[in-house]
Structure 1
Amino acid sequence: MDYSTWPRVVVVDVEGNGAQPPDLVELAAVPVVNGSPVSASVRSTLVRPPRPISPMATRVHGITSQDVASAPSWPQIGERVRADLEGAWIAAHNAHVDYGVLSRHLPGWKPAGVLDTLRLARATYPQAAGYGLDALIELCGIDPSAVPGKRHRAAFDAHAAALLLIHLAGHHATWTALLAAAVPPGLPGHPQPQEDPTLW
Protein backbone atom coordinates (compact mmCIF):
# COMPACT_ATOMS: atom_id res chain seq x y z
CA MET A 1 0.00 0.00 0.00
CA ASP A 2 1.36 3.40 -1.01
CA TYR A 3 -0.04 5.68 1.68
CA SER A 4 1.07 8.77 -0.25
CA THR A 5 -1.76 8.09 -2.72
CA TRP A 6 -4.42 8.55 -0.05
CA PRO A 7 -6.72 11.55 -0.08
CA ARG A 8 -7.27 13.40 3.19
CA VAL A 9 -8.36 10.88 5.84
CA VAL A 10 -9.57 11.75 9.34
CA VAL A 11 -10.35 9.03 11.89
CA VAL A 12 -13.21 10.03 14.17
CA ASP A 13 -14.81 8.77 17.35
CA VAL A 14 -17.86 10.05 19.18
CA GLU A 15 -19.23 9.41 22.65
CA GLY A 16 -22.89 9.95 23.48
CA ASN A 17 -25.13 10.65 26.44
CA GLY A 18 -27.15 7.44 26.18
CA ALA A 19 -30.29 9.14 24.85
CA GLN A 20 -32.05 7.91 21.71
CA PRO A 21 -31.02 9.40 19.40
CA PRO A 22 -27.78 10.22 21.25
CA ASP A 23 -26.45 13.71 21.89
CA LEU A 24 -22.71 14.17 21.61
CA VAL A 25 -20.69 14.46 24.81
CA GLU A 26 -17.23 13.99 23.29
CA LEU A 27 -15.72 14.06 19.81
CA ALA A 28 -12.21 13.41 18.52
CA ALA A 29 -10.67 13.59 15.04
CA VAL A 30 -7.23 12.19 14.18
CA PRO A 31 -5.74 13.01 10.73
CA VAL A 32 -3.75 10.28 8.99
CA VAL A 33 -0.94 11.43 6.69
CA ASN A 34 1.52 9.17 4.84
CA GLY A 35 0.51 6.15 6.89
CA SER A 36 0.77 7.73 10.34
CA PRO A 37 -1.60 9.49 12.75
CA VAL A 38 -0.68 13.16 13.11
CA SER A 39 -0.77 13.59 16.86
CA ALA A 40 -0.05 17.33 16.71
CA SER A 41 -3.23 17.88 14.66
CA VAL A 42 -5.64 15.81 16.78
CA ARG A 43 -8.87 17.62 17.66
CA SER A 44 -10.68 16.48 20.79
CA THR A 45 -13.36 18.19 22.82
CA LEU A 46 -16.03 17.52 25.38
CA VAL A 47 -19.52 18.73 24.45
CA ARG A 48 -22.28 19.85 26.80
CA PRO A 49 -25.41 17.97 25.65
CA PRO A 50 -28.95 19.35 25.91
CA ARG A 51 -29.97 16.27 27.93
CA PRO A 52 -28.18 14.66 30.92
CA ILE A 53 -25.73 11.81 30.46
CA SER A 54 -27.34 8.54 31.50
CA PRO A 55 -25.70 6.34 34.16
CA MET A 56 -25.39 3.57 31.55
CA ALA A 57 -23.41 5.83 29.20
CA THR A 58 -21.21 7.00 32.07
CA ARG A 59 -20.39 3.37 32.90
CA VAL A 60 -19.02 2.97 29.35
CA HIS A 61 -16.97 6.14 28.84
CA GLY A 62 -16.70 7.53 32.36
CA ILE A 63 -18.01 10.99 31.44
CA THR A 64 -20.59 12.52 33.78
CA SER A 65 -22.94 15.47 33.36
CA GLN A 66 -20.75 17.34 35.84
CA ASP A 67 -17.70 16.75 33.62
CA VAL A 68 -19.35 18.53 30.70
CA ALA A 69 -21.13 21.27 32.65
CA SER A 70 -18.68 23.94 31.46
CA ALA A 71 -17.93 22.40 28.06
CA PRO A 72 -19.10 24.14 24.88
CA SER A 73 -22.50 23.21 23.49
CA TRP A 74 -22.80 21.78 20.00
CA PRO A 75 -24.05 25.07 18.46
CA GLN A 76 -20.84 26.69 19.71
CA ILE A 77 -18.50 24.22 17.98
CA GLY A 78 -20.54 22.60 15.21
CA GLU A 79 -19.35 24.83 12.38
CA ARG A 80 -15.72 24.38 13.40
CA VAL A 81 -16.18 20.61 13.31
CA ARG A 82 -17.83 20.90 9.90
CA ALA A 83 -14.86 22.89 8.61
CA ASP A 84 -12.39 20.34 10.03
CA LEU A 85 -14.16 17.45 8.29
CA GLU A 86 -15.19 19.19 5.07
CA GLY A 87 -13.94 17.32 2.00
CA ALA A 88 -12.25 14.55 4.01
CA TRP A 89 -12.72 10.83 4.05
CA ILE A 90 -13.70 9.82 7.56
CA ALA A 91 -12.85 6.50 9.17
CA ALA A 92 -14.15 4.88 12.34
CA HIS A 93 -14.63 1.49 13.97
CA ASN A 94 -18.23 0.49 13.25
CA ALA A 95 -18.48 3.65 11.19
CA HIS A 96 -22.27 3.53 10.73
CA VAL A 97 -22.61 4.78 14.32
CA ASP A 98 -20.14 7.69 14.11
CA TYR A 99 -21.28 8.71 10.63
CA GLY A 100 -24.92 8.61 11.71
CA VAL A 101 -24.33 10.78 14.79
CA LEU A 102 -22.21 13.30 12.90
CA SER A 103 -24.68 13.49 10.00
CA ARG A 104 -27.52 14.22 12.40
CA HIS A 105 -25.49 16.96 14.09
CA LEU A 106 -24.22 18.44 10.79
CA PRO A 107 -27.23 18.84 8.47
CA GLY A 108 -26.20 18.86 4.83
CA TRP A 109 -22.68 17.56 5.54
CA LYS A 110 -21.41 14.65 3.49
CA PRO A 111 -17.84 13.34 3.71
CA ALA A 112 -15.91 12.35 0.61
CA GLY A 113 -16.33 8.79 1.85
CA VAL A 114 -16.54 6.56 4.91
CA LEU A 115 -14.03 3.85 5.84
CA ASP A 116 -15.14 1.29 8.41
CA THR A 117 -12.29 -0.49 10.20
CA LEU A 118 -14.76 -3.11 11.47
CA ARG A 119 -15.78 -4.02 7.91
CA LEU A 120 -12.15 -3.86 6.80
CA ALA A 121 -11.04 -6.16 9.62
CA ARG A 122 -13.66 -8.75 8.69
CA ALA A 123 -12.41 -8.69 5.09
CA THR A 124 -8.75 -8.84 6.13
CA TYR A 125 -9.04 -11.41 8.94
CA PRO A 126 -12.14 -13.49 8.15
CA GLN A 127 -11.22 -16.12 10.75
CA ALA A 128 -10.67 -13.72 13.67
CA ALA A 129 -12.22 -14.73 16.98
CA GLY A 130 -13.62 -11.25 17.57
CA TYR A 131 -13.82 -7.85 15.91
CA GLY A 132 -14.06 -5.46 18.84
CA LEU A 133 -11.39 -2.76 18.92
CA ASP A 134 -9.55 -4.38 21.85
CA ALA A 135 -9.50 -7.81 20.22
CA LEU A 136 -8.23 -6.40 16.92
CA ILE A 137 -5.50 -4.34 18.57
CA GLU A 138 -4.24 -7.54 20.18
CA LEU A 139 -4.64 -9.62 17.01
CA CYS A 140 -2.71 -7.09 14.92
CA GLY A 141 0.06 -6.65 17.47
CA ILE A 142 -0.63 -2.93 17.83
CA ASP A 143 0.96 -1.30 20.86
CA PRO A 144 -1.45 1.39 22.16
CA SER A 145 0.75 2.32 25.15
CA ALA A 146 1.78 5.62 23.56
CA VAL A 147 -1.81 6.61 22.74
CA PRO A 148 -2.95 9.45 25.02
CA GLY A 149 -6.01 9.02 27.19
CA LYS A 150 -7.86 5.82 27.99
CA ARG A 151 -10.10 3.29 26.31
CA HIS A 152 -13.69 4.37 25.56
CA ARG A 153 -12.71 8.03 25.47
CA ALA A 154 -12.93 9.63 22.05
CA ALA A 155 -9.29 10.67 21.61
CA PHE A 156 -7.93 7.26 22.59
CA ASP A 157 -10.42 5.29 20.52
CA ALA A 158 -9.94 7.47 17.42
CA HIS A 159 -6.15 7.19 17.69
CA ALA A 160 -6.34 3.41 18.23
CA ALA A 161 -8.70 3.08 15.26
CA ALA A 162 -6.23 5.10 13.16
CA LEU A 163 -3.44 2.64 14.03
CA LEU A 164 -5.77 -0.23 13.19
CA LEU A 165 -6.72 1.35 9.86
CA ILE A 166 -3.07 1.77 8.88
CA HIS A 167 -2.26 -1.83 9.83
CA LEU A 168 -5.24 -3.28 7.95
CA ALA A 169 -4.63 -1.09 4.89
CA GLY A 170 -1.19 -2.64 4.58
CA HIS A 171 -2.89 -5.89 3.56
CA HIS A 172 -4.48 -4.25 0.51
CA ALA A 173 -2.46 -3.29 -2.54
CA THR A 174 -4.11 -0.01 -3.54
CA TRP A 175 -6.50 2.68 -2.33
CA THR A 176 -9.11 1.24 -4.73
CA ALA A 177 -8.72 -2.23 -3.21
CA LEU A 178 -9.03 -0.70 0.26
CA LEU A 179 -12.31 0.99 -0.68
CA ALA A 180 -13.77 -2.26 -1.95
CA ALA A 181 -13.12 -3.85 1.44
CA ALA A 182 -13.72 -0.94 3.81
CA VAL A 183 -16.66 1.19 2.59
CA PRO A 184 -20.06 -0.11 3.70
CA PRO A 185 -22.76 -0.26 1.01
CA GLY A 186 -24.99 2.78 1.08
CA LEU A 187 -22.41 5.07 2.66
CA PRO A 188 -20.47 7.79 0.83
CA GLY A 189 -17.52 6.50 -1.19
CA HIS A 190 -18.86 3.01 -1.79
CA PRO A 191 -17.57 1.80 -5.18
CA GLN A 192 -20.41 1.70 -7.65
CA PRO A 193 -20.62 -1.39 -9.87
CA GLN A 194 -19.67 -0.77 -13.47
CA GLU A 195 -22.57 -0.98 -15.89
CA ASP A 196 -22.31 -3.82 -18.39
CA PRO A 197 -22.16 -2.10 -21.80
CA THR A 198 -23.62 -5.22 -23.46
CA LEU A 199 -26.91 -4.83 -21.61
CA TRP A 200 -29.70 -2.70 -23.00
Structure 2
Amino acid sequence: MDVGTWPELFVVDVEGNGATPPDLVEVAAVRITGGRPVPTLHTLVRPPRPITPHATRVHRITNDDVADAPCWEQAAPAIQASLHGAWIAAHNAHVDYRALSRHLPGWEPAGVIDTLRLARAVYPDAPGYSLDALLTYTAVPLDGIPGRRHRADFDAHATALLLLDLAAHYPTWRALAAVGVPASMPGAAAPDYEEQTLW
Protein backbone atom coordinates (compact mmCIF):
# COMPACT_ATOMS: atom_id res chain seq x y z
CA MET A 1 0.00 0.00 0.00
CA ASP A 2 1.15 3.53 -0.75
CA VAL A 3 1.21 5.14 2.71
CA GLY A 4 1.43 8.50 0.96
CA THR A 5 -2.26 8.16 0.10
CA TRP A 6 -3.28 8.05 3.76
CA PRO A 7 -5.14 10.92 5.40
CA GLU A 8 -3.39 12.74 8.22
CA LEU A 9 -3.06 10.16 11.01
CA PHE A 10 -1.66 10.14 14.52
CA VAL A 11 -1.07 6.99 16.54
CA VAL A 12 -1.96 7.88 20.11
CA ASP A 13 -1.50 6.42 23.55
CA VAL A 14 -2.58 7.65 26.97
CA GLU A 15 -1.77 6.62 30.52
CA GLY A 16 -4.07 7.20 33.47
CA ASN A 17 -3.87 7.64 37.23
CA GLY A 18 -5.85 4.50 38.08
CA ALA A 19 -8.99 6.35 39.17
CA THR A 20 -12.47 5.52 37.83
CA PRO A 21 -12.88 7.17 35.41
CA PRO A 22 -9.16 7.80 34.97
CA ASP A 23 -7.50 11.19 34.90
CA LEU A 24 -4.79 11.35 32.26
CA VAL A 25 -1.17 11.53 33.38
CA GLU A 26 0.57 11.09 30.02
CA VAL A 27 -0.38 11.61 26.37
CA ALA A 28 1.68 10.87 23.27
CA ALA A 29 1.02 11.06 19.55
CA VAL A 30 3.17 9.78 16.69
CA ARG A 31 2.43 10.99 13.18
CA ILE A 32 2.80 8.65 10.22
CA THR A 33 4.80 10.69 7.71
CA GLY A 34 6.43 9.31 4.58
CA GLY A 35 5.75 5.76 5.68
CA ARG A 36 7.47 6.10 9.04
CA PRO A 37 6.53 7.12 12.58
CA VAL A 38 7.52 10.63 13.66
CA PRO A 39 7.08 11.49 17.36
CA THR A 40 4.96 14.63 17.44
CA LEU A 41 3.49 15.14 20.88
CA HIS A 42 4.42 13.94 24.35
CA THR A 43 3.47 15.41 27.67
CA LEU A 44 3.08 14.41 31.27
CA VAL A 45 -0.01 15.77 32.99
CA ARG A 46 -0.52 16.56 36.69
CA PRO A 47 -3.85 14.89 37.54
CA PRO A 48 -6.37 16.33 40.02
CA ARG A 49 -6.27 13.05 41.97
CA PRO A 50 -3.10 11.15 42.96
CA ILE A 51 -1.76 8.30 40.84
CA THR A 52 -2.65 4.99 42.48
CA PRO A 53 0.08 2.52 43.41
CA HIS A 54 -1.40 0.00 40.96
CA ALA A 55 -1.18 2.47 38.05
CA THR A 56 2.41 3.34 38.99
CA ARG A 57 3.32 -0.36 38.95
CA VAL A 58 2.09 -0.56 35.34
CA HIS A 59 3.52 2.60 33.78
CA ARG A 60 6.05 3.59 36.49
CA ILE A 61 4.89 7.21 36.54
CA THR A 62 4.89 8.49 40.10
CA ASN A 63 3.20 11.46 41.71
CA ASP A 64 6.65 13.05 42.02
CA ASP A 65 7.15 12.66 38.24
CA VAL A 66 4.06 14.77 37.51
CA ALA A 67 4.39 17.25 40.37
CA ASP A 68 5.71 19.98 38.05
CA ALA A 69 3.81 18.88 34.92
CA PRO A 70 1.03 21.04 33.48
CA CYS A 71 -2.50 20.34 34.66
CA TRP A 72 -4.97 19.13 32.04
CA GLU A 73 -6.40 22.60 31.42
CA GLN A 74 -2.90 23.81 30.50
CA ALA A 75 -2.00 20.78 28.34
CA ALA A 76 -5.33 20.31 26.53
CA PRO A 77 -5.15 23.15 23.96
CA ALA A 78 -1.92 21.86 22.39
CA ILE A 79 -3.23 18.28 22.37
CA GLN A 80 -6.51 19.28 20.77
CA ALA A 81 -4.74 21.47 18.20
CA SER A 82 -2.39 18.62 17.23
CA LEU A 83 -5.19 16.09 16.75
CA HIS A 84 -7.77 18.44 15.21
CA GLY A 85 -9.23 17.10 11.98
CA ALA A 86 -6.94 14.06 11.85
CA TRP A 87 -7.49 10.33 12.06
CA ILE A 88 -6.17 8.56 15.13
CA ALA A 89 -5.03 4.98 15.62
CA ALA A 90 -4.41 3.03 18.80
CA HIS A 91 -4.25 -0.53 20.06
CA ASN A 92 -7.62 -1.42 21.57
CA ALA A 93 -8.57 2.02 20.36
CA HIS A 94 -11.84 2.50 22.22
CA VAL A 95 -9.85 2.98 25.46
CA ASP A 96 -7.72 5.85 24.15
CA TYR A 97 -10.56 7.35 22.09
CA ARG A 98 -12.96 7.44 25.04
CA ALA A 99 -10.34 8.84 27.40
CA LEU A 100 -9.41 11.62 24.99
CA SER A 101 -13.05 12.37 24.12
CA ARG A 102 -13.93 12.65 27.80
CA HIS A 103 -11.08 15.09 28.35
CA LEU A 104 -11.52 17.09 25.12
CA PRO A 105 -15.19 18.15 24.94
CA GLY A 106 -16.23 18.87 21.37
CA TRP A 107 -13.29 17.04 19.82
CA GLU A 108 -13.91 14.22 17.39
CA PRO A 109 -11.28 12.68 15.14
CA ALA A 110 -11.95 12.17 11.44
CA GLY A 111 -11.78 8.46 12.14
CA VAL A 112 -10.40 5.83 14.51
CA ILE A 113 -8.27 2.85 13.44
CA ASP A 114 -7.94 -0.02 15.90
CA THR A 115 -4.76 -2.06 15.42
CA LEU A 116 -6.26 -4.81 17.59
CA ARG A 117 -9.06 -5.32 15.04
CA LEU A 118 -6.60 -5.25 12.17
CA ALA A 119 -4.29 -7.74 13.88
CA ARG A 120 -7.11 -10.22 14.46
CA ALA A 121 -7.96 -10.04 10.75
CA VAL A 122 -4.39 -10.15 9.43
CA TYR A 123 -2.94 -12.69 11.88
CA PRO A 124 -5.76 -15.11 12.79
CA ASP A 125 -3.25 -17.66 14.10
CA ALA A 126 -1.32 -15.30 16.39
CA PRO A 127 -0.94 -16.72 19.91
CA GLY A 128 -2.22 -13.49 21.47
CA TYR A 129 -3.37 -9.99 20.60
CA SER A 130 -1.97 -7.82 23.35
CA LEU A 131 0.48 -5.23 22.10
CA ASP A 132 3.37 -7.18 23.66
CA ALA A 133 2.27 -10.44 22.04
CA LEU A 134 1.90 -8.84 18.62
CA LEU A 135 5.23 -7.02 18.80
CA THR A 136 6.88 -10.36 19.53
CA TYR A 137 4.89 -12.21 16.86
CA THR A 138 5.55 -9.68 14.09
CA ALA A 139 9.13 -8.96 15.18
CA VAL A 140 8.76 -5.30 14.21
CA PRO A 141 12.05 -3.54 15.04
CA LEU A 142 11.80 -1.60 18.28
CA ASP A 143 15.42 -0.43 18.47
CA GLY A 144 15.77 3.29 18.93
CA ILE A 145 12.27 3.95 20.27
CA PRO A 146 12.57 6.45 23.14
CA GLY A 147 11.28 5.51 26.57
CA ARG A 148 10.08 2.12 27.74
CA ARG A 149 7.09 -0.18 27.41
CA HIS A 150 3.85 1.02 29.10
CA ARG A 151 4.87 4.65 28.69
CA ALA A 152 2.75 6.61 26.24
CA ASP A 153 5.60 7.72 23.95
CA PHE A 154 7.03 4.20 23.60
CA ASP A 155 3.66 2.51 23.16
CA ALA A 156 2.45 5.02 20.56
CA HIS A 157 5.65 4.55 18.54
CA ALA A 158 5.51 0.75 18.82
CA THR A 159 1.83 0.76 17.81
CA ALA A 160 2.69 2.92 14.80
CA LEU A 161 5.24 0.32 13.67
CA LEU A 162 2.65 -2.41 14.18
CA LEU A 163 0.13 -0.41 12.13
CA LEU A 164 2.61 -0.11 9.25
CA ASP A 165 3.23 -3.87 9.40
CA LEU A 166 -0.53 -4.55 9.29
CA ALA A 167 -1.12 -2.01 6.52
CA ALA A 168 1.21 -3.95 4.23
CA HIS A 169 -1.53 -6.60 4.01
CA TYR A 170 -4.08 -4.20 2.51
CA PRO A 171 -4.08 -2.77 -1.02
CA THR A 172 -5.62 0.62 -0.16
CA TRP A 173 -6.42 2.91 2.74
CA ARG A 174 -10.11 2.27 2.12
CA ALA A 175 -9.63 -1.48 2.49
CA LEU A 176 -7.65 -1.00 5.70
CA ALA A 177 -10.24 1.37 7.17
CA ALA A 178 -13.10 -0.98 6.29
CA VAL A 179 -11.56 -3.54 8.64
CA GLY A 180 -9.82 -1.32 11.17
CA VAL A 181 -12.56 1.12 12.16
CA PRO A 182 -14.94 -0.25 14.81
CA ALA A 183 -18.59 0.13 13.84
CA SER A 184 -19.36 2.59 16.64
CA MET A 185 -16.36 4.85 15.98
CA PRO A 186 -15.85 7.91 13.77
CA GLY A 187 -14.83 6.95 10.25
CA ALA A 188 -16.90 3.76 10.14
CA ALA A 189 -18.49 3.08 6.78
CA ALA A 190 -22.24 3.61 6.63
CA PRO A 191 -24.22 0.36 6.36
CA ASP A 192 -24.86 -0.53 2.73
CA TYR A 193 -28.57 -1.23 2.89
CA GLU A 194 -30.63 -1.77 -0.21
CA GLU A 195 -33.15 0.97 -0.68
CA GLN A 196 -36.49 0.01 0.81
CA THR A 197 -39.70 0.96 -0.95
CA LEU A 198 -43.39 0.35 -0.40
CA TRP A 199 -43.79 -1.18 -3.86
- Give me the whole-angstrom Cα distance separating, in 2, the residues matched to 1:48 and 1:85: 20
- Give me the whole-angstrom Cα distance separating, in 1, the residues matched to 2:30 and 2:141: 17
Partner amino acid, structure 2, of 1:61: H
Which digits, 9 at most, give the CA deviation of each residue in 1:118-177, with x for residues without a partner? 111001111111001111111112111211110000000000000000110110111111
Q: Which moved more, 1:48-57 or 1:142-151?
A: 142-151
Which digits, 9 at most, give the CA deviation of each residue in 1:49-84, with x for residues without a partner? 000000000000000111100000000011111110
Q: Matches of residues 141-156 of structure 1 in structure 2 within 5 Å?
A: 141-156=139-154
Which digits, 9 at most, give the CA deviation of each residue in 1:65-117, with x for residues without a partner? 11100000000011111110000000001100000000000001100000010
- Give me the whole-angstrom Cα distance separating, in 2, the residues matched to 1:145 and 1:32: 18
Structure-2 residue corresponding to 1:191: 189
SS at match of 2:119: helix
Q: Matches of residues 164-179 of structure 1 in structure 2 within 5 Å?
A: 164-179=162-177
SS at match of 2:88: strand
Structure-2 residue corresponding to 1:21: 21
Structure-2 residue corresponding to 1:61: 59
- Give me the whole-angstrom Cα distance separating, in 2, the residues matched to 1:34 and 1:127: 30
- Give me the whole-angstrom Cα distance separating, in 2, the residues matched to 1:10 and 1:51: 28
Which TM-score applies when normalising by structure 2? 0.97
Q: Percent identity?
A: 62
Pick the aligned partner of 1:135 from 129, 133, 136.
133
Pick the aligned partner of 2:159 from 158, 161, 173.
161
Maintained 8 Å contact 2:88/2:111 = yes
- Give me the whole-angstrom Cα distance separating, in 1, the residues matched to 2:65 and 2:186: 34
5+ long unaligned stretches in structure 2: none
Q: Which moved more, 1:20-29 or 1:141-150?
A: 141-150
- Give me the whole-angstrom Cα distance separating, in 2, the residues matched to 1:17 and 1:146: 27
Deviating 4+ runs (over 4 angstroms): none
Structure-1 residue corresponding to 2:4: 4
Structure-1 residue corresponding to 2:76: 78
**1:194: Cα distance to partner?**
2.0
Which TM-score applies when normalising by structure 1? 0.96
**1:195: Cα distance to partner?**
2.9
- Give me the whole-angstrom Cα distance separating, in 2, the residues matched to 1:8 and 1:45: 21
Q: Which moved more, 1:14-23 or 1:176-185?
A: 176-185
Q: Matches of residues 109-128 of structure 1 in structure 2 within 5 Å?
A: 109-128=107-126
Partner amino acid, structure 2, of 1:8: E
SS at match of 1:145: coil
SS at match of 2:113: strand
- Give me the whole-angstrom Cα distance separating, in 1, the residues matched to 2:99 and 2:6: 25
